[in-house]
Structure 1
Amino acid sequence: MGLVIHGWCKEERFHEENGNKRGIVMSDTYIIVVFTILLLVILVLYVFEISRTRRILNHISNMLLEAKNGTFIESCYDETKLSSVEGQMKEWIASSITTSNQLEKERDCIKTTISDISHQTKTPISNISIYTELLSEQELPEDSKEYVQRLREQSQKLNFLIEALVKSSRLETKVVSILPKEHLIEDILEQICDHCDQKAKSRGILITKEIEPCSLQVDAKWTSEALLNILDNAIKYADEATIIKVVGIKYPMFYRIDITNRGIEVKQEEVNAIFGRFFRSDNVRDEDGVGLGLYLAREIVTLQGGYIKVKPGTEPTFSVFIPC
């Protein structure tokens, strides 16, 4: 009897252990299934979000490309379909295009105004010059001849002033554009030195040149204008019978042009001010000029990615740096 009971207990424990094992296995299986389902849900959501983000970025990229090409057209959109970012981007692009169109209209208006001013003033100034020359050919008293000479000088100064103002206005409003092309800087420097040679000789000034050859991406016309203004100032404010040095040095990243004279001092405290529009130092009040030459020179050089430095003193050096 004892053996039967003992056998039954062993069998019961065996079934109980098997039941426990099956419960554990089922529990583990349930956890794995739930975990797998959660992973699948997360993966689906991730893929959906990636797809949605990619669609939004592609849409924004297309809008920016259309805006760049000038083909962007504002259209209605539904907040439930497009993201808030897309909506804000559309509004920003539309606003930018409107502002750009307004600026373009204003620039055209300024361009027309500048052309009108230039045209309207050219005729009377030309007439003044012609009448002055006619008067100078007449037999006049000495004091009248002096008045005629002053009239000639003032008409020339007025013509220069108007031309300088028109040029500076066109540069500031970007009515004219700097169009860089490949040019030999030595040719440009030779041309401006030749242009100023007669004026220099009239004051007994010798222009010396030490120019290293180099090909630069510059606008030849406006670069010549800038360098000519600096060289003209050097001649104007130099002592008579002196030497003006024009030196061109090539560096790996830029080309440096030094123009040095000896004459009226450039003060340290005026180094930045001399490039201001209409600035006239106390040292040159009695000299001809309107204070626009250096201003124009710096504007032109800056628009081409360069800059100008000044070494002050009685032998000042104006150094122009132009990217290679």
Structure 2
Amino acid sequence: MTERILTGILILAVLAVLLLGISFIRTLNRMQKLLRDYEEKGNAAFSTMKETRESKLENRLQRLLGQAARKEEKAEKERDETAALLSDLSHQLKTPMANVIMYTELLEDESLEPEERRRFVGQTREQARKMKWLLESMLKASRLETGSISFSAEYTCIRETIGAAVSGVYAKAEDRGITIVAEPFEDRKLYHDPKWTAEAIGNILDNAIKYSPFGSTVRVRVMPMEIYTQIEILDQGMGISREEYNQIFHRFYRSSSVAQDEGSGLGLYLAQLILNKEKGYVTVASEKGKGSSFRIFLLNEVLTVL
């Protein structure tokens, strides 16, 4: 009797092992098929409705494959962005680099008059500064895009920030006979990082000065609104067509009407990146031949009423 019981138990155990083995093999085959389908087709028929051990395993496998796919997409996007960045940078550096080589070769001529030599040295220095500015600006843009720059934005007074921006472009405006007029306004606390916002405003002011006629005026106005405060920069330049409103904020964009003028197409792009990081934004309104109005919007301080 005991032997029969033991034999029965042994048979049941063997059957249980066989059933588990069959189940395991089926699950393994199922996982292999899912992986094969995912590799070949980019998707697989995962079971998401049944609350079984196998479906939970499939669910986990689906999440892991999804994470892997997202990481691959991100890596591919970063590769494409890096390739585009290098291509843009190479294109932008080509002209100043060629100029530096040309002026260096001219300086090797021992028959040059002292005045000509000084002029070529000055032009070489200017081209080298341009390349340095391009490299630094591209590095800033790249770090802003990837979020590797930490912003210490907070609600702080805007008057000093605007003053720093105007001071940074004052000499250039004076050289071009352009007057910068900051209309009187009551100082107020806005959400921004003073250093970076001064650079953003400075880039927009620099753009206004660059494309405005000699002897004209660039105005800065501060207008409080309900949620934001608007900082408006008005120039008397050549203006911008409506079709270019969005394009001018793209990296390296240069309008065909200013292709021969100085500039790299990075200033407005950087300004927009900086302001977006501070939960602000910038818009433009313009008409060809009638100047432009760039409007910066920064968040007002929210006062808590007890």
TM-score (norm 1): 0.59
What is the match of residue 145 of structure 1?
118
What is the match of residue 294 of structure 2?
318
Letter aligned with residue 169 of structure 2: C
Separation in 2, partners of 1:89, 1:255: 49
| Alpha-carbon shift at residue 183 of structure 1 (Å) | 1.3
Q: Which ranges of structure 2 fall in alignment gaps of 5 or more residues?
A: 1-49, 90-96, 301-306
| Alpha-carbon shift at residue 81 of structure 1 (Å) | 8.1
Given candidates 149, 172, 179, the residue that maps to 1:199 is 172
What is the match of residue 168 of structure 1?
141
Counterpart check, 1:154 vs 2:130: no
Q: Which ranges of structure 1 fall in alignment gaps of 5 or more residues?
A: 1-78, 118-124
Equivalences for residues 290-301 of structure 1 within 5 A: 290-301=264-275
Separation in 2, partners of 1:287, 1:304: 31
Give the number of aligned pairs.
Answer: 224
Fraction of identical pairs, as percent: 33
What is the match of residue 246 of structure 1?
220
TM-score (norm 2): 0.62
The alignment yields a C-alpha RMSD, in angstroms, of 3.5
Letter aligned with residue 317 of structure 1: S
Equivalences for residues 244-323 of structure 1 within 5 A: 244-313=218-287, 314-323=290-299
Greater per-residue helix proportion: 1
CA contact (8 A) 1:264 1:283 kept: no
| Alpha-carbon shift at residue 202 of structure 1 (Å) | 2.0
Q: Which of these two proteins has the greater Rg computed from alpha carbons?
A: 1
CA contact (8 A) 1:209 1:246 kept: yes
| Alpha-carbon shift at residue 245 of structure 1 (Å) | 0.3
Q: Secondary structure at the match of 1:207?
A: strand
Separation in 2, partners of 1:256, 1:89: 50
Letter aligned with residue 320 of structure 1: I
Q: Secondary structure at the match of 2:159?
A: helix
| Alpha-carbon shift at residue 187 of structure 1 (Å) | 1.5
Shift of the 307–83 alpha-carbon distance from structure 1 to 2, 3 Å rule, reads farther
| Alpha-carbon shift at residue 101 of structure 1 (Å) | 8.7
What is the match of residue 163 of structure 2?
190
Separation in 2, partners of 1:208, 1:302: 26
Shift of the 88–188 alpha-carbon distance from structure 1 to 2, 3 Å rule, reads farther
| Alpha-carbon shift at residue 154 of structure 1 (Å) | 0.6
Shift of the 256–82 alpha-carbon distance from structure 1 to 2, 3 Å rule, reads farther
Separation in 1, partners of 2:54, 2:230: 53
CA contact (8 A) 1:249 1:257 kept: yes
| Alpha-carbon shift at residue 204 of structure 1 (Å) | 1.9
